[in-house]
Amino acid sequence: MLLNKETQKFVRMSLSEDNAYKDITSRLVIPQDKNIKVVLISREPGIFCGMDLLRYTFSLLDKNIKFKKFVNEGCRFDKGAKIIQIEGNARAILAAERVAINIVSRLSGIATLTAEFVKLTEGTKAKIMDTRKTTPLLRYIERYAVRIGGGCNHRYSLSDAVLVKDNHLRAAGMMVKNKLDAVTASKIIRNMRKRTSLSIEIEVETLEEFKIFIPTAPDIIMLDNFSVAQIKKAVEYRDKYYPKIILEASGGINLKTVKPIAVTGIDRISLGALTHSTRAVDFSLELI
């Protein structure tokens, strides 16, 4: 669910940051009892996300505000489409406008980009996944937007699953002169399995590292910055010898490269770009 105590607090803090309750301009030029009717219009196509937060934002400024939806959560819209009609106190609507639009623009942007990646991988088994490269304190709602776009969520935080990355390998003494020590690595990973029931994922940077780690039976192996040819070789090796292990591709994947990667037979594709560099969808609130 999008609307909960955490997200409600986020909206209240956003309104407070903008001093929405002390909108000096509206107080000086608009009568206190003036009512207006506005409509949120898209200036470009996309997938809408964040309806509950939008409604909640306006409702905090005017508890009697009325809404009429034209687009449902997760639905695709065209340029110029009406999204929602809002009727209520003019001062309240104008004070909440920027915060509300900022939220849905950001979330709709994430949902729209995610849907583009998902569409490009149709017909394959590859799942499009987010990463922890989210806006600080906005992870919950940004991950929600990924799901609305048809994607899947990776681990939420550091405590949800084990993900051994390159710096872990070096800090734990598994790398000697930038080369993986197979004996030490195998010992540490096998010992880890005895100490936790959580999912274990290992990040590898070369096919050599991949073949060293796969016999230790992690749940998932992340192929970091592998070429399409390397991913294909890893998938073929996995399918032949260790079919139960999940393979994930990550690192610099974009809309041009995602399809060739997906057709290799990879199970998961994780993309920090879904949340760290998404462009917001452009919306406008117009008086009618």
Instruction: Judge if 259 and 152 occupy the same domain.
Output: yes
Instruction: Judge if 192 and 165 occupy the same domain.
Output: yes
Instruction: Judge if 212 and 270 occupy the same domain.
Output: yes
Predicted local confidence at residue 180, as pLDDT? 82
Instruction: Judge if 75 and 126 occupy the same domain.
Output: no
Report the CATH number at residue 31. Answer: 3.90.1170.20
Summarize pLDDT for 81-122 with one digit per residue, the tens: 999 999 999 999 999 999 999 999 999 999 999 999 999 999
**Cβ(128)–Cβ(151) under 8 Å?**
yes
Mean pLDDT of 27-43: 97
Predicted local confidence at residue 272, as pLDDT? 97
Given a cut of 80, is residue 178 above it in pLDDT? no
For residues 177 and 85, give the distance between their C-alpha atoms in angstroms, rounded to a whole number.
63
Summarize pLDDT for 255-266 with one digit per residue, the tens: 999 999 999 999
Report the Cα 94 to chain-centroid distance in Å: 29
| Catalytic sites, residue numbers | 98, 133, 165, 203, 224
Instruction: Judge if 152 and 283 occupy the same domain.
Output: no
Instruction: Judge if 123 and 111 occupy the same domain.
Output: no
Into how many domains does the chain fold?
A: 2
DSSP structure class, residue 22: G
What domain range includes position 156? Answer: 119-276
**Shortest CA distance to 272 belongs to which of 135, 132, 151?**
132
Q: How is residue 173 written in tokens? A: 């003494």
Instruction: Judge if 190 and 99 occupy the same domain.
Output: no
Report the CATH number at residue 240. Answer: 3.20.20.70
**Where does the pLDDT of residue 181 fall: very low under 50, low under 70, confident under 90, or very high at 90 and above?**
confident
Instruction: Judge if 20 and 94 occupy the same domain.
Output: yes
Instruction: Judge if 88 and 166 occupy the same domain.
Output: no
Summarize pLDDT for 210-243 with one digit per residue, the tens: 999 999 889 999 999 999 999 999 999 999 999 9
Instruction: Judge if 125 and 110 occupy the same domain.
Output: no
- Which distant-in-sequence residues (6+ apart) come within 8 Å of 40 by Cβ? 54, 82, 83, 84, 85, 86, 101, 104, 283, 284, 285, 286
Summarize pLDDT for 37-90 with one digit per residue, the tens: 999 999 999 999 999 999 999 999 999 999 999 999 999 999 999 999 999 999
Q: What is the pTM of this model?
A: 0.95
Given a cut of 90, is residue 203 above it in pLDDT? yes
Instruction: Judge if 264 and 131 occupy the same domain.
Output: yes
Instruction: Judge if 165 and 222 occupy the same domain.
Output: yes
Task: Please provide the average confidence, as pLDDT, over all residues in the chain.
Answer: 95
